[in-house]
C-alpha cells in the first residue's frame, strides 16, 4: 500500500514530519476538531455478504469506546479496516487525523493492535518476537522498549521461553506487550480479555486506563458486557453493519440508561435470543 505523507494532516498542531518523511513516533494531532478515529459511511462486503453498511463512528482523544455486537456484526472487520489490514469498499477512515488508505504506514505507527489471536511466532522466544517487531518498527533502544512493555503486562519472567510452550494467557500478555512497543496513541483491541486470567485482565485494564489518561484513545471490541460498561466512556452496539445504538457512559452527558436497559437494547439490535 502506498504511503502518502501528504495525507498526514496536522492542522494547528505545529508538529512537522521528521526529515525522512515519517510522522513523529506515535504522534497524533490532538486538536479538539480532530478525533482519534473518524469513520464515515464505510461499507465492506465479502462476496455477496455486506458486513459493514454505511457505518459512521467517531472516537475522541482521551476516551475509550466499547464496541459490542453479535457474531458477524462486523466488529472485527471494522477493527481490521482501522488497523489498515483491509480496505473498505466505500467511505472514509481517518485514524489520528491520517487517512487510513493513503497514509497507512503512518497509521500503523500511531496504532497498537491486539487481535483475538496472539499473532506471535511459536518457535521464537517472547523476547525474540518483541525484538523482531522492534526492528520492523525501526525502534531505537529495543531492549528498553521491551523491558517497559513487558513490565506493563506483568510478563518479566519466562520471556526467554519459546512462545509455543507458554499458555494462551501468557502469549496474550506478550501480544499486548508487542502492541505497546512503539508507544501508540491509539489502541485497537479485539476481545483482549479472552484467555487472560483475572490478574492479567486487571493489567489489561490498567493499560487501557493509562492510555486514556495519557490523552490517547482506545477502541475496545468485546463480547463482555461488564467489560464494555466498566472500561468504556462510550458504548456502540453494532447491528446489521451499522452503529445501531450509541451513547455516552460517563461525564455530563453520561448515560441515563441502566445496564439492564442497555442489555435489552443490545439484544434488540443484535437479534440474538436472550
Partner 1 sequence: MTSLVDRFLRWPVTAVLWKDVVLETRTKDTLVSVFVFALLSIVVFNFALNPTPQNVALVAPGILWVAFTFGGVLGLTRSFAVEKERGGMQSLLLTPAGRDSIYLGKVLSIFVFMLAVEVVTFPIFAVIYNLPLAAPEFIPVALLATLGIAAVGTLFSAMAVNTRAREVMLPLLFLPIAVPVIVAAVEASGPAITGEPWGDAIQWLPILAVFDVVFLVICSLGFGFVVQD
Q: Kindly list the residues in this chain that would bind partner 1 in the complex (CB under 8 A).
A: 1, 3, 80, 83-87, 105-106, 108-109, 113, 115, 117-124, 128, 132-133, 135-138, 142, 162, 178
Nearest of 91, 90, 63, 95 to residue 79 by alpha carbon: 95
User: CB 128 → partner 1: shortest distance, Å?
Assistant: 7
**Which one, 81 or 237, has the nearer CB to partner 1?**
81
Say if strands 111-114 and 186-190 run parallel, antiparallel, or are unpaired.
Answer: parallel
Those residues whose C-beta lies under 8 Å from the C-beta of residue 208, and which sit 6 or more positions away, are 64, 187, 189, 218, 220, 231
What residues are paired with 67 via a beta bridge?
221, 236
What is the C-alpha separation between 246 and 228, in angstroms, rounded? 13
**Which one, 100 or 244, has the nearer CB to partner 1?**
100
Does residue 221 contact residue 192 with C-beta atoms inside 8 Å? Answer: no
What is the C-alpha separation between 179 and 190, in angstroms, rounded? 12
**Which one, 167 or 209, has the nearer CB to partner 1?**
167
**Which one, 104 or 244, has the nearer CB to partner 1?**
104
User: CB 107 → partner 1: shortest distance, Å?
Assistant: 9
What is the C-alpha separation between 136 and 156, in angstroms, rounded? 22
User: CB 21 → partner 1: shortest distance, Å?
Assistant: 12
Nearest of 212, 235, 229, 242 to residue 36 by alpha carbon: 212
**Which one, 83 or 249, has the nearer CB to partner 1?**
83
Nearest of 166, 194, 181 to residue 131 by alpha carbon: 181
**Which one, 122 or 264, has the nearer CB to partner 1?**
122
User: CB 30 → partner 1: shortest distance, Å?
Assistant: 20
What is the C-alpha separation between 192 and 176, in angstroms, rounded? 8
What is the C-alpha separation between 134 and 34, in angstroms, rounded? 29
User: CB 87 → partner 1: shortest distance, Å?
Assistant: 7
Amino acid at each position: 500500500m502506498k504511503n502518502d505523507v501528504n495525507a498526514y494532516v496536522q492542522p494547528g498542531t505545529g508538529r512537522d514530519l521528521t526529515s525522512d518523511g515519517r510522522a513523529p513516533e506515535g504522534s497524533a494531532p490532538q486538536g479538539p476538531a480532530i478525533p482519534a478515529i473518524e469513520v464515515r459511511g464505510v461499507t465492506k462486503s465479502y462476496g455477496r455478504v455486506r458486513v459493514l453498511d454505511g457505518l459512521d463512528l467517531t472516537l475522541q482523544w482521551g476516551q475509550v469506546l466499547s464496541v459490542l455486537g453479535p457474531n458477524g456484526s462486523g466488529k472485527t472487520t471494522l477493527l481490521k479496516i482501522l488497523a489498515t489490514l483491509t480496505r473498505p469498499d466505500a467511505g472514509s477512515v481517518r485514524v489520528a487525523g491520517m487517512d487510513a488508505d493513503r497514509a497507512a504506514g503512518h497509521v500503523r505507527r500511531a496504532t497498537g493492535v491486539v487481535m483475538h489471536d496472539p499473532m506471535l511466532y511459536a518457535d521464537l522466544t517472547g523476547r525474540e518476537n518483541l525484538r523482531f517487531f522492534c526492528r520492523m518498527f525501526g525502534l531505537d533502544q529495543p531492549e528498553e522498549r521491551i523491558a517497559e512493555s513487558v513490565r506493563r503486562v506483568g510478563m518479566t519472567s519466562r520471556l526467554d521461553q519459546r512462545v509455543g510452550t507458554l499458555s494462551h494467557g501468557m502469549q496474550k500478555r506478550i501480544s499486548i506487550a508487542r502492541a505497546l512497543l512503539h508507544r501508540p496513541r491509539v489502541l485497537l483491541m479485539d476481545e483482549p480479555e479472552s484467555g487472560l486470567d483475572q490478574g492479567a485482565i486487571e493489567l489489561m485494564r490498567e493499560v487501557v486506563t493509562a492510555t486514556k489518561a495519557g490523552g490517547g484513545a482506545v477502541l475496545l471490541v468485546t463480547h463482555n458486557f461488564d467489560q464494555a460498561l466498566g472500561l468504556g466512556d462510550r458504548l456502540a452496539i453494532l447491528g446489521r453493519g451499522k452503529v445501531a445504538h450509541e451513547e455516552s457512559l460517563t461525564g455530563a452527558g453520561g448515560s441515563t440508561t441502566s445496564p439492564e436497559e442497555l442489555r435489552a437494547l443490545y439484544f434488540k439490535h443484535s437479534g440474538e435470543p436472550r
